[in-house]
């Protein structure tokens, strides 16, 4: 038995410390084992919004890079997934980044340009030039504070929401000399992700995205509403990118009853965990390599 003596308000030594004090002492002398899973390592990076301005000035100039993340806060993902699906993946990847590297994560952009889903409930910036200029101005504000590098994270795909972001990523170094990196969802998928899938085809609110949401936020997934939908079209079979569209007009060849493409009924929690692990490895590797590249002269 350990007895702890603490000073009372009147200065007398009082026997019988509080339970919290007893627990602290027991931990210090090794009598209580704390499972490693309960002890979270101190993150190496930080959210910019959590810092005071004096702290931010120092960290912005010292961090190897600042992540400027975009993930749609409200974009349709079939009848079974919440509108925040892209945002949640963005938040997850940002958390993994600052846990692993001494980076800063800027406040996210939650409203963007995604015309393929415009006829469904969304919060969209429908003009791509407005969206592009908005992100450019945010990036410029970081440049003015002396950041070394900017990594744009896009949890949409590179040939869709990634297009205006890629223009910004090209224009910022051209105008300011600040190195940039643009990373989209499809940049993080590998053959390992393809091997996990059982669906014949997919791409939106499908087996992969549904698995991820079952892992991250199962309470918001309505799996009983999930249906298989491979659409009516046939792969065009010729070179080039043919932009997709989810129309709600029954007379449109792009009409979609569901707003999804793939087979979400095949989703599992374990697939979601594995896909996120793969994407995280790719993401951290990209940031680590980008951080180590030489800076332009004068920066």
Q: In this structure, is residue 41 part of a structural domain?
A: no
Concatenate the DSSP letters of all residues of 206-270 into one string: SHHHHHHHHHH-GGG--GGG---B--S-----SSS------B--TTSTTB-SSS-BB-GGG--HH
Q: In this structure, is residue 74 part of a structural domain?
A: yes
Q: What is the CATH number of the domain that holds 74?
A: 3.40.50.10310
Q: Which parts of the chain sit beneath pLDDT 50?
A: 1-21, 23-39
- State residue 41's pLDDT score: 66
Looking at the 3D structure of the chain, how many domains does it have? 1
The span from the CA of 107 to the CA of 58, in Å, is: 17
Q: In this structure, is residue 66 part of a structural domain?
A: yes
The span from the CA of 148 to the CA of 191, in Å, is: 33
Q: In this structure, is residue 202 part of a structural domain?
A: no
Q: In this structure, is residue 216 part of a structural domain?
A: no
Domain assignment of residue 85, given as a range: 46-187+280-292
Q: In this structure, is residue 104 part of a structural domain?
A: yes
Each residue's pLDDT tens digit, 145-193: 999 999 999 999 999 999 999 999 999 999 999 999 999 999 999 999 9
Q: In this structure, is residue 159 part of a structural domain?
A: yes
Q: In this structure, is residue 263 part of a structural domain?
A: no
State the angle between helix axes of 128-144 and 162-176 in degrees (0 to 180), rounded to the nearest 10. 40
Each residue's pLDDT tens digit, 219-231: 999 999 999 999 8
Looking at every residue in the chain, the average pLDDT score rounds to 88
């Amino acid at each position: 038995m350990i007895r702890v003596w603490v000073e009372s308000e009147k200065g007398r030594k009082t026997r019988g410390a509080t339970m919290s004090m007893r627990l602290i002492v027991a931990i210090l002398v090794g009598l209580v084992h704390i499972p490693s899973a309960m002890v979270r390592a101190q993150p190496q990076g930080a959210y910019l919004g959590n810092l005071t301005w004096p702290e931010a000035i120092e960290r912005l100039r010292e961090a190897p890079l600042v992540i400027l993340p975009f993930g749609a806060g409200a974009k349709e993902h079939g009848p079974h997934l919440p509108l925040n699906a892209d945002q949640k993946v963005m938040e997850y990847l940002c958390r993994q980044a600052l846990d692993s590297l001494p980076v800063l994560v800027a406040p996210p952009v939650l409203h963007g340009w995604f015309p393929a889903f415009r006829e469904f409930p969304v919060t969209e910036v429908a003009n791509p030039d407005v969206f592009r200029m908005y992100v450019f101005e945010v990036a410029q504000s970081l440049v003015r504070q002396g950041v070394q590098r900017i990594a744009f994270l896009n949890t949409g795909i590179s040939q869709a929401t990634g297009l205006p972001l890629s223009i910004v990523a090209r224009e910022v170094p051209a105008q300011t000399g600040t190195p940039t990196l643009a990373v989209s969802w499809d940049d993080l998928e590998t053959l390992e992700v393809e091997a996990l899938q059982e669906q014949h085809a997919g791409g939106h609110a499908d087996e992969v995205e549904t698995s991820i949401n079952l892992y991250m936020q199962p309470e918001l997934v309505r799996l009983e509403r999930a249906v298989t939908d491979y659409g009516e079209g046939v792969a065009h079979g010729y070179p080039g990118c043919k932009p997709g569209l989810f129309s709600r007009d029954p007379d449109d060849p792009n009409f979609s009853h569901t707003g999804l493409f793939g087979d979400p009924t095949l989703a599992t929690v374990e697939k979601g965990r594995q896909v996120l692990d793969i994407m995280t490895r790719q993401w951290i590797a990209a940031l680590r390599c980008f951080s180590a590249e030489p800076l332009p002269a004068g920066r």
